[in-house]
A and B are shown apart, each in its own frame.
Chain A
C-alpha cells in the first residue's frame, strides 16, 4: 500500500491498518489533498486482502478533525463540473461500500466533515472532552461528506434535525445517548482501547465479518422480507464452504 502521503499517515500492523489524519497544526482540517489521499487509501483498503480492520484517528491533542479547510472553498468550479468531479470519484460512496470494519477514535474537536468521516465508520469511541458539531447551515452550506444522510440513518430524523438545524455543540454524554458514539474512554486510554477492539475483531473470520457488514448495511436499504431473503442466501452460500 502506497505510503507517500502527507495529510494522512497509514500504518499497517499485521491485519490492522491505522489511518491518522495528519494536519495537527490546523486541527487536522480536511482539504483537497486529504480528500485525494483518502481516496487512494480507501481504494487500497478495499483491495488489500491482508487488511481486516481499519482504525481512524486524528494526530495531535486538540482535534480529531475540526472540519473542512474553508480557505480552499472560496473558488469553486461551476455547478456541473463540481457535480461531475464528485460523481467520477465518489469517495463517500466508496467508503460506505467497503465491507471491512472501521473503528474511529474521537478526541477534541469533531466538527463538520470530521464528524462526517466518523459517521462513515462502524464503531465510534470518544474521549470525554470531545466537542461534536455540524455547523454547515451557519456557514451557508450543507454537509458535503454524506453527513446529512449518514447521521439521519444512524440517529433518526429527530436527532439529526436537532444537530443539523440548530448547529449546537454536542458533548460526549449527549453523543452517547443519541447513539452517535458507543463508548466514552478517557483520552489517555483511547488509543489502547481502540487497538484492543481492532485486535479483537481481527481475530475472527474476515469472511463472516464482511458478510455481517454487508447484511446489516444492505439490509438497512431494503425491506425486511428482502433482507431476510438475503440473510438466508448468504448463510446457505457460506455453508457450502464447510
Chain B
C-alpha cells in the first residue's frame, strides 16, 4: 500500500483509520474517498468494530493543500467528499487532532464524535480566502457544534483557532502533549470499547437525529431506542453485572 493511501488496522474492537499526510490532486482525493467508502461499509457490517479512531500525521490534516478547485458537479462533489462518509459510521468515532487541521481536514474533524487534540493543533476554515465555500459539511456542522457566533467568526475571517480556544468552544474534549496524543486516544478508545456496542450506536444516533427534532419528538425517539434495547442481551448483562459488582461482558447483541 502506498503511503498516499489510507491505511487501517483493527485490534481488539478498535478500528484505526490513518490518513496520508497530504492530498495533491483531485484524483488523489477521489481515490481516498472511494477507498473510505469500501472501508466504512466493512466497518458498519463488522461486529468486531466498536470504536473508530481517526488520525493523520503530526504536522497537518489538510486535503486541499494546493487549493484544489471546488467540485463542479454534484457527482464530483460526492466523489470527493470524505466527512460525509465518516459521518455514516454507526459506532462512535474519535479523532486525534494534531498540527494544522485545515478546510476539508477540519470538516472531517467535525464529522467525528469525540475530538482529542495535541497542544500544537490549530484549526482553520479558510475556504472564502481561496474564493471557495466549504463543501464537505462544514457550513452546517461547525455551527451545530460550536454555535453560530464562533462559526461565523472562523469562517468569515479564516483565522486560526488554537487548541485552548478549541477546548473552550466545546469542540475538543481533551488536550494532550503532542507525544501523548496517541496513547491518550487509544486509552479512551479501549475504555469505550468495553461499553455496550448497540447502546453506543443508538446513543450516537439519538444525539445526532434528536438534535434536529422538536423536543417532544426527540423524547419519543429516545423512548423508541430504549424499548428496542430491551431486546438485547447486553442490557440485562449490564444491569446484572452492576448488581453483582463485576465487569460486564458485552456481546454486541
B191 with A70: CB separation less than 8 A: no
Q: Tell me whether A82 and B227 are in contact (CB under 8 A).
A: yes
Report the bound CA distance from A126 to B146 in whole Å.
24
**Closest chain A CB from B91 CB (angstroms):** 10
Q: Which residues of B contact A139 (CB under 8 A)?
A: 196, 199, 235, 238-239, 241-242, 248
> Would you call A203 an interface residue if the criterion is a C-beta within 8 Å of the partner chain's C-beta atoms?
no
Q: How far is the CA of A64 from the CA of B243 in the complex (A)?
A: 21
* Residues in chain B near residue A76, CB distance under 8 A: 230
Interchain CA distance A76-B240 in the complex, whole Å: 13
**Interface stretch among B33-41, B97-105, B203-211?**
B203-211
CA distance A140 to B206 in the complex (A): 15
**Do A157 and B208 touch (CB < 8 A)?**
yes
Residue of A80, A136, A147 with most chain B CB atoms under a 10 A cut-off: A136
Chain B, Cβ-Cβ closest to A77: B230
The interface centre, meaning the residue of B115, B171, B207, B229 with most chain A CB atoms within 10 A of its CB, is B207
A150–chain B nearest beta-carbon distance, Å: 8
Size category of the B interface is 35 or more
Query: Which stretch of A40-48, A160-168, A192-200 is in the interface?
Result: A160-168
Question: B240 contacts which chain A residues (CB < 8 A)?
Answer: 74
Which partner residue on chain A sits nearest B224 by CB separation? A83
Are A70 and B243 touching (Cβ within 8 A)?
yes
Chain A residue numbers with a CB within 8 Å of B188 are 166
Assembly CA distance A156 to B147 (angstroms) = 8
Given A70-B243, A149-B221, A156-B145, A140 contacting B114 (CB threshold 8 A): no
A92 near B234 with CB under 8 A, answer no
Q: What is the interface of chain B mostly: helix, strand, loop, or mixed?
A: helix
* A129 CB to nearest B CB, Å: 22
B210: which of A78, A144, A152, A165 is its contact (CB, 8 Å)?
A152
Q: Say if the beta carbon of A155 comes within 8 Å of chain B.
A: yes
Asked whether B215 is an interface residue with its Cβ less than 8 Å from the other chain, the reply is yes
Q: Which of chain B's residues has its CB closest to A80's CB?
A: B227
Quick check: is B69 within 8 A (CB to CB) of the other chain? no
A79 contacts B248, C-beta separation under 8 Å: no
Interface size range on A against B: 35 or more
- Give the residues in chain A near B223, CB-CB below 8 Å: 83, 86-87, 144
B249 CB to nearest chain A CB (Å): 11
Q: Are A82 and B202 in contact (CB under 8 A)?
A: no
Chain B residues near A6: list those with CB within 8 A: none
In whole Å, how far is A189's beta carbon from the nearest beta carbon of chain B? 28
A143 close to B (CB within 8 Å)? yes
Tell me the bound Cα distance from A86 to B95 in angstroms.
37
Chain B neighbourhood of A140, CB < 8 A = 196, 199, 229, 232, 234-239, 248, 250
Given the contacts A152-B210, A157-B208, A142 and B203 also touching, CB distance less than 8 Å:
yes
Chain B residues lying within 8 Å of A137, measured Cβ to Cβ, are: 195-196, 199-200, 203
A242 at the interface (CB under 8 A from B): no
User: Residue A167 contacts which of B170, B173, B195, B235 (CB distance < 8 angstroms)?
Assistant: B195
Contacts of A152 in B (CB 8 A): 207, 210-211
Contacts of B195 in A (CB 8 A): 137-138, 167
> Which A residues lie within 8 Å of B180 (CB)?
none
A217: chain B residues at CB < 8 Å are 215
Across the interface, which residues of B come within 8 angstroms of A79, CB to CB?
A: 227-228, 230-231
Q: Which residues of A contact B228 (CB under 8 A)?
A: 79
A136 and B231 form a contact (CB under 8 A): no
- How long is the Cα–Cα vector from A138 to B248 in the complex, in angstroms? 8
Q: In the complex, which residues of chain B have a beta carbon less than 8 angstroms from the beta carbon of A227?
A: none
A221 touches B170 (CB 8 A): no
Kindly supply a per-residue 1/0 record for chain B positions 34-54, scoring 1 wherever the CB is within 8 Å of any chain A CB and 0 otherwise: 000000000000000000000
Tell me the minimal C-beta distance from B50 to chain A in angstroms. 11
- B208 and A141: CB pair below 8 A? no
Contact B215 A159 (CB under 8 A): no
Does B219 make an interface contact (CB < 8 A)? yes
| A232 CB within 8 Å of chain B | no
Choice from A143, A160, A166, A177 contacting B222 with Cβ under 8 Å = A143
B residues at A contact (CB < 8 Å): 92, 113-115, 144-147, 168, 170-171, 173, 188, 191-192, 194-196, 199-200, 202-204, 206-208, 210-211, 214-216, 218-219, 221-232, 234-243, 248, 250
The 3 A-B pairs with the shortest beta carbon distances in the complex, nearest first, are A140-B238, A221-B214, A139-B238
Contacts A139-B199, A141-B196, A148-B210 known; 19 new A-B pairs at CB < 8 A = A70-B243, A73-B239, A74-B240, A78-B230, A79-B230, A137-B196, A139-B241, A139-B248, A140-B235, A141-B199, A142-B222, A149-B219, A149-B222, A152-B211, A155-B170, A158-B145, A161-B207, A165-B204, A221-B216
